[in-house]
Structure 1
Amino acid sequence: MTGTPSDPTQRSQQLHQGLRGYPCEIFQFDPRIKTGWLSDRYFVRTANTLRHAGRDPVITMQVFAKHRGVLAGVYEALRLLQTQLAPGFDFAELRVETLLEGDDINTGGEDDWEPVMHVTGRYGGFAHLETPLLGVLARRSLVASNTRTVVDAARGKPIIFMAPRHDDWRVQTPDGYAAQVGGAASVSSDAAGAWWGQRGVGTMPHAMIAAFAGDTVEATLAFARYLRDEEPDVQVMSLVDYDNNAVETSLAVARAMRAEFGDGVLTGVRVDTSERLIDDSLIGDPEVWGRAKLTGVNAYLVRKMRAALDAEGFTYVGIVVSGGFTPDKIGHFEKEGVPTAAYGVGSSLLGHSRGDHGLLTDFDFTADLVQVDGKPEGKVGRTMRDNPRFVTLDWGQVDGEGSA
């Protein structure tokens, strides 16, 4: 998902059509959200205090972020409002104005604090939802924004979201969805692709090669036989850095695959050389030795692999690279025309970085009450701000689901 329309009619259509594609049940909300168990306790006590005082104000809550990036989590936030109100409150009474999933936000700079959502209604019904709603937007927008940065650097080449192993398993599905909002082409686990209907892709891990006594060729052939018998729609791609000679291993695999299956069956090879190692094929090479940093997956190694494969007629075998790829490194590869087919990127998309290379480590959202019973009300510096890009949600166009 890259780019959103600017025309108001098209924006309204995208919001309502998109939301219908993500029904309430897909998010599997914890039923304890309704009770405030997952909320900052002061919001629960605020609602209780209002009830105790006999007050039932209609308020407008304004949500904004302090970062420039890609907004994600809108559908989830709206379904949260629809299904997790306090008992006795009806979601149909809420007026929601929102930006779209995938909108660029704060494009005027990080001091813009552009409103991304206004929620208006009886505050006792949704006071407790500020905590989970902001958390949803924060995590989804972090992953989506970092993914978009990497996607832009790759100039149209596919990005494989390979982050599931780098965080709690419980966030695999929403993280994978957020990566799709940011433009990722595929994900590495079935869970990460669940919300957008994609199964995990994958080459083969080093563990598979180890299980075949360290023989990459035998492991790849066995992998190909399995896929042809059990998962014929999955493309065969081999991992070729196990012995730290990606050139020779790529050729050995390609020759063996051609001998058993013919040309075109091996679609690619992936190289994931450790950033602490120099591939054996580069050691002593007079063209590059001593002239550049040669550790990890580098341009010289990829070019050498490409030339070797092409020389034997394996032009159809793409080279996928992974391991330490940042927007800067991807941008350098693309600027230099390094012949990669796709990039695998992992933990940095989740904010596990130092905040360099254009990647974010956090993406916090803030909410303020800016209107009470139709009158301006808010702390100093936080006033109600309109957003000409807002789309007003029409609950009747969604799906008619109840608030259970």
Structure 2
Amino acid sequence: MSETFDTIPDDAVLSGRATDAYFDRTVEALEGAGRNPHVVAEVTADQFPDGEFEVFAGVKDAAALLEGRDLDVHALREGRAFDGGPVMRIAGDYLEFARLETSLLGYLSHASGFASAALHARRAAPDSNVLSFGARHVHPSIAAVVERSALLAGLDGFSHVAAGDVLGREASGTMPHALMLCFGRGNQEAAWRAFDDAAPADVPRVALCDTFTDEKDEVLRAVDALGDDLDGVRLDTTGSRRGDFEHIVREVQWALDVRGHEDVDVFVSGGLGPEELRDLRRVVDGFGVGSAITDANPVDFALDIVAVDGDPVAKRGKLGGVKQVYRTADGAHHVGLADRPGPTDGTPLLEPLLKDGELVREFDLADATDRCLADARRVDY
């Protein structure tokens, strides 16, 4: 354990210590009985397709957890939309991975939930600049998971600095209400100028314009204060004060245009979800989306043994036998037995990830994003 924060260290995860207690009991029982069967286990959320697609994410961390162990693993590509059936298949002696199930499902479930929610935001405003602003709503140890999932789903950037260090991307953001409040009412111009003086040249000059007075008033004051240096304004008006937010934004846009400042972008944030993005995308240039992503439920994955020593098995309510999943020409998801022919127009989606414990796949976030957005269009996400 960390001596300061309640976080689980990497070595505890890799050693299998980050597990549910009953897996320890299972290992003890099997070892005591001298049993270690060869099994095939599958990770699934739903057994059959139901038309509700989700986005598969967390594969990179899952691969790092399983790498180096005597296992063969097949999985969907990250960013793939899925609807029923397995997203991952693990073959090997059960004791090789028994204690890893808890962490494996955590990696896949949380990231897939974030990515699925982020894709709903992306699809709601496909032509707008959409940033992930939700890291403050999650434990800081998983901020990079949130931001990677957001990028995977096609969002244009994120706000968390340390996540950027992990991902090799620069975080985005300009000023919070705290900066405005530190200068005080009537001194908004001083706050905007202080930001302009201190921020690096490559940081867009986006002024927050809703702290003390009417949004239009503060926007026009920001224009006067920063002149041609002003790139945009952000409205983060709390929901209790918004009224008709679209009308407020249109009024601000009109005030800018009539004064010859139509090149100043309007960016909005503050509790926005896909519905608000659809309503506002015609009148704003960009969005910050937070809780709509971080409040997403983790995808309810389970790992189940479906074959033992070559024989199909299943617990009640689950489907025994080794399976394959397919994307058909009409964009549908199909589940079938792996040793039977699939649909004539189907593309198999479970592909090799590890062979004898060796990673046989590379992870490229840009490729995963392209796959995610193409799949979203294909399945009408």
The answer, yes or no, to whether TM exceeds 0.5 is yes
Write the letter of the residue equivalent to 1:382: L
| 1:24 alignment counterpart | none
Match for residue 25 of structure 1?
none
Among 386, 390, 393, the alignment partner of 2:324 is 386
Question: What is the SS of the residue equivalent to 2:117?
Answer: helix
State the match for 1:78 in structure 2: 63
- Matching residue of 1:217: 189
1:275 Cα offset (Å): 1.2
Counterpart of 2:252 in structure 1: which amino acid?
Answer: M
2:53 aligned with 1:68: yes
Change (3 A) 1:274 1:398: closer
How many pairs were matched up? Answer: 322
Given candidates 220, 230, 248, the residue that maps to 1:266 is: 230
Corresponding position of 2:265: 318
TM-score (norm 2): 0.80
Aligned counterparts of 1:275 and 1:41: Cα–Cα separation in 2: 44
Does residue 39 in structure 1 map to residue 39 in structure 2? no
**Gap runs ≥5 in structure 2:** 1-7, 47-51, 326-347, 363-381
Answer yes or no: is the 8 Å Cα contact 2:112–2:149 preserved in 1: yes
- Letter paired with 2:351: V
Name the counterpart of 1:140: 111
Q: Which of 279, 296, 303 is equivalent to 1:332?
A: 279
What is the aligned partner in structure 1 of residue 71 from structure 2? 94
8 A Cα contact 1:177 1:195, kept in partner? no
Q: Which residue of 2 aligns with 1:178?
A: 149
1:74 & 1:137 partners in 2: Cα distance? Answer: 7
Quote the residue 1:244 is aligned against. Answer: 213
* 2:39–2:310 contact (8 Å) kept in structure 1: yes
Residue 310 of structure 2: which of 374, 384, 387 is its match? Answer: 374
Provide the residue aligned with 2:248 in structure 1: 301
Task: Give CA-to-partner distance per residue, 1:305-353, whole Å, 9 cap, x none.
Answer: 111111222122100001121111111223xx22x111111112112xx
Q: Partners of 1:156 and 1:120 in 2: how far apart?
A: 43
Residues 151, 158 of structure 1: 8 Å contact kept: no
> In the alignment, residue 162 of structure 2 is paired with which amino acid?
A
TM-score, normalisation: structure 1: 0.76
* CA deviation after TM superposition for structure 1 residue 35, in Å: 4.0
Is the CA contact 2:134–2:291 (under 8 Å) kept in the aligned structure 1? yes
- Residues in 2 aligned to 1:34 and 1:46: alpha-carbon distance in whole angstroms: 18
Three-state SS of the structure 2 residue aligned to 1:238 is strand
- Residues 105 and 396 (structure 1 numbering): CA distance in 2 closer, same or farther, change over 3 Å? closer
Once the two structures are superposed, residues 136-165 of structure 1 have per-residue CA deviations (whole angstroms, 9 ceiling, x without a partner) of 111101110000001100122121111111
Q: Contact (CA 8 Å) 1:36, 1:44: kept in 2 or not?
A: no
Q: Residue 205 of structure 1 aligns to which amino acid in structure 2?
A: P
Alignment partners' CA distance in 2, 1:391 and 1:365: 19
Secondary structure at the residue paired with 1:144? helix
Per-residue CA deviation, residues 224-248 of structure 1 (Å, 9 max, x unaligned), is 1111xxx222111110001231111
**% identical equivalent positions:** 33
Does 2:229 align with 1:257? no
Match of 1:165 among 133, 136, 145: 136
Counterpart-to-counterpart distance in 1, 2:153 and 2:188: 34
- Rounded to whole Å, the distance in 2 between the matches of 1:79 and 1:102 is 17
Cα separation, partners in 2 of 1:103 and 1:194, compared to 1, 3 Å: farther
1: CA distance, partners of 2:352 / 2:17: 30
How many Å separate the matches in 2 of 1:313 and 1:196? 39
Q: 2:102 aligns with which of 127, 131, 136?
A: 131
The secondary structure found in structure 1 opposite 2:239 is coil
- Give the Å deviation of 1:213: 2.1
Distance in 2, Cα, partners of 1:151 & 1:34:
34
The change in CA–CA distance for 1:396 and 1:170 in structure 2 (over 3 A counts) is: closer
